[in-house]
Amino acid sequence: MKAVITATLCVFSAQAVLAQTNHVKTPEQTKPFKSSFELNAGAEVGVLSNSALSVQELDDISSQSDSGIKTAAGVNAKWQLTKSAKLTSSYKFEQQDYDEFDQYDLDLHQYGLDGSYSFNSHEVGVRYDGAKANVDGDTFLHFNQVSAYYGHFLNPHTYLRMSIKTKAKRFATAKARNADGVGADVALYHFINSGQTMLMASLSADKENADDNQYDFNGYGFTTKVTHKFTAFNVANKVGAGWRYQNKDYDEQTTDDFFEQIPSRDEHRNVVNAFYNVAVFEHVTLIAEAEYGDYQSKLSSNTYTQSVLSASVKVHF
């Protein structure tokens, strides 16, 4: 269930566009302020190939590979209340429908609400993120997270963002894995080439306490990403690549049989990814994505590698 964790925990990446703000006021910016409301929507359909089907949150790791259809649709709303205050909300539905192994079909609902206030190159805000995941048509997981964040432009091209969060995971059947947690993130965004190239690096720390102590862990992670936008043959292009490392240190467990130690669940993950987008028309984009993950664990059953490739068409307006 890597998709759930990735999509819902890395919430600060959506804020990176703030770093493109230019502090030199234009004639438009000096006009009297008038509140505004914007609505954007999009839909996507494509194909994907997965070399190792899995539901990580249940230790369901398969050596089977499969291909299928991926679809997505979403809507984003932004309400600029004042020059400094704004509200944003979003909803996105993603689906992965495999050809052969239906038990790994995924439906993912993601929703968020964000309120922020900006002043003198600073920004403070509160954000809620939620997700509901269904596997093979059955409800699998509910995820809720609330975070408070602070952002600051170190200079016109560099943006620093820090956040603290509290989260809750509730499983439909695996009740022992229900968990509450806290975490913190710090991220740095730097823009060059007039904002066309973005460099990002972030550090994170997490702690979760589950109903069953064997699933308690302390973790940390590091993420880095680079994206670049350019025009070729009068067509807008965007390319990007990233690396994500995550380490989880689980509580050691023992049995009552002379305090025999249970094998540790400690794990670390290395994931690299890349994408290429081509805007073939004003509202139509072709997307190619690739991801490779190396998942290592002291439990041999949770050690594997995975490659995911996809190609899709996205319509947005």
> For residue range 150-196, what is the model confidence (pLDDT) as tens digits?
999 999 999 999 999 999 999 999 999 999 999 999 999 999 999 99
Per-residue pLDDT band for 30 (boundaries 50, 70, 90) equals low
List the alpha helices (DSSP H) in 10-161. Answer: none
Buried residues in 232-242 as b, exposed as e (16+ CB within 10 A) = eeeeeebebeb
Q: Is the pLDDT confidence value at 15 over 90?
A: no
- Residue 110 amino acid letter: Q
All residues at 6 or more sequence positions from 259 whose CB lies less than 8 Å from its CB, including other chains:
none
Could you tell me the residue ranges of all domains in the chain?
2-316
Tokens of 149: 């964040």
Per-residue pLDDT band for 132 (boundaries 50, 70, 90) equals very high
Question: At residue 256, what are phi and psi to the nearest 5 degrees?
Answer: -80, -10
Question: At residue 17, what are phi and psi to the nearest 5 degrees?
Answer: -60, -20
Residues 31-55 have a mean pLDDT of 93
Cross-strand bridge partners of residue 187: 161, 202
Q: How far apart are CA 177 and CA 256, in angstroms?
A: 22
Residues 288-310 have a mean pLDDT of 94
Tokens of 280: 């073939």
Contacts within 8 Å (CB) and 24+ apart, 289-295: 293/2, 293/269, 294/269, 294/270, 295/56, 295/267, 295/269
Name which residue leads in pLDDT, 49 or 253: 49
- Say if residue 23 is exposed, middle or buried (CB neighbours under 10 Å; 0-12, 13-18, 19+): exposed
Residues 271-285 have a mean pLDDT of 97
Q: How far apart are CA 273 and CA 290, in angstroms?
A: 6
Q: Which fold has domain 2-316?
A: Porin (2.40.160)
| Residue that the structure tokens 């291909």 belong to | 67
Task: Count CB neighbours of 315 within 10 A.
Answer: 14
Q: Within 13 Å of residue 258, how many CA atoms lie on the same side as its CB? A: 0
Q: How far apart are CA 186 and CA 163, in angstroms?
A: 7
List the alpha helices (DSSP H) in 30-146. Answer: none
**pLDDT for residue 19:** 35
How many Å is the maximal CA-CA distance in the chain?
Answer: 77
Q: Is the pLDDT confidence value at 25 over 80?
A: no
- The DSSP code for 257 is S
Q: Is the pLDDT confidence value at 138 over 80?
A: yes
What mean pLDDT is reported for the chain?
89
Q: How far apart are CA 10 and CA 231, in angstroms?
A: 28
Question: At residue 121, what are phi and psi to the nearest 5 degrees?
Answer: 70, 10
Share of residues in the chain with pLDDT > 70 (%): 87
- Say if residue 26 is exposed, middle or buried (CB neighbours under 10 Å; 0-12, 13-18, 19+): exposed
Percentages (nearest 5) of helix, strand, coil residues in the chain: 10, 70, 20
Per-residue pLDDT band for 1 (boundaries 50, 70, 90) equals very low
Q: How far apart are CA 172 and CA 177, in angstroms?
A: 10
pLDDT in tens, 198-229: 999 999 999 999 999 999 999 999 999 999 99
**pLDDT for residue 91:** 98
The alpha carbon of 106 is separated from its chain's Cα centroid by a whole number of angstroms, namely 16
